[in-house]
Amino acid sequence: MSEEGLAVIGVTACNQQLGLHPFNIVGEKYLLSIADATNAWPLVIPALGHCPAETILPRLDGILFTGSPSNIEPHHYDGPTSDVDTLHDPKRDATNLPLLRAAIDAGVPVLAICRGFQEMNVVYGGTLHQKLHEVDGLIEHREDRTASVDIQYGLSHEIKIEPGGLLHEAWGRNLAEVNSVHTQGVDRLGVGLRPEAYALDGLIEAFSVKNAKNFALGVQFHPEWKVLDNAFYRAIFSAFNTACQVRASKRTR
């Protein structure tokens, strides 16, 4: 596809206070993963607390729901009150939770990463563990915050990929190694979600939407990190890109 005819993939932002002013920001690694690993251009979707989905979705060929340092406010899944020092982003919650469901219902390809993965679970009625390190039987999924970023986002553990799903179709193998930089994770899986991969401790690391009209995959790990250097991560973005290109070709006809 020529540059003039590039597909357009929305990338969700976070709403954060920087100094005296609120900013809408997104990690560059998410933007680069679209620019470098797909035939598309990223378009930032601001977290303003609302989103005219009926206006923007017809103009998009896919959406990447990003990770974030913030966590979903637990009242969205009837969870216990967070610790007082927990970073939340209520405007992102108010923007992304309805947008995610609207995108999937409209057949827009969706790839949801980390917080985005957790948003997808909550949208479908699932719940979250807020502190995985306090759950008996689970391995350590948090990053070492004293380590360099390359070590933090380096490969951490294996996942077992379920046969017959989007992830297995994209990768073609039963095992892969992933990074692990999350504190929260799936407790109860949302209704209509299909487990796609598990960590060896049984924690769900990926799922898809069973009856989605188009590609709808959530992953707890971070395939956007140096995506071109990792064949498994590239395979995920390639599958997402294929779905986005099909939508783009139909949308522009």
Residues labelled catalytic: 114, 222, 224
Residue among 112, 113, 43, 58 nearest 247 (CA) = 58
Q: Are 224 and 113 in contact (CB under 8 A)?
A: yes
Measured distance CA(166)–CA(44) in Å, rounded = 26
Q: How far apart are CA 85 and CA 92, in angstroms?
A: 18
For residue 208, CA distances in Å to 8, 95, 121, 131 come to 22, 21, 10, 23
Three-state SS across 27-92? Answer: CHHHHHHHHHHCCEEEEEECCCCCCCHHHHHHHCCEEEECCCCCECCHHHHCCCCCCCCCCECHHH
Tell me the C-alpha distance between 3 and 40, whole Å: 9
